[in-house]
Amino acid sequence: MIRAFSVGLAVATIRPIIGMFFATSRFSGLTPHEFFGIGFWIGFVLHLIAAEAWIHATLPGQITVGVHE
């Protein structure tokens, strides 16, 4: 469920990222054909990393039975 929520947030985050690319396209020389894919990857990967970090940070402690240290 956290991963699905993350994908939903990523869709909403892509718009400002694409907006930043449009705003800086004069300086960067990138065309929309070039930066749309980059913007989508940035949006989804940032949220994927955040979701996975949250999932792993909030895992309950795992107790292994029968292992002696």
Inter-residue contact 35 to 18 (CB < 8 Å): yes
Predicted pLDDT of residue 62: 67
Residue 43: both structure tokens together: 């949006």
pTM for this predicted structure: 0.71
Q: How many residues does this entry show for the chain?
A: 69
Predicted pLDDT of residue 69: 58
**Which residue has 């449009």 as its token pair?**
22
**Which residue has 């029968």 as its token pair?**
66
Spans in the chain with pLDDT lower than 70:
62-69
Domains in the chain: boundaries: 2-57
Could you tell me the sign of the dihedral formed by the alpha carbons of 19, 20, 21, 23, in that order? Answer: positive
Q: How far apart are CA 10 and CA 2, in angstroms?
A: 12
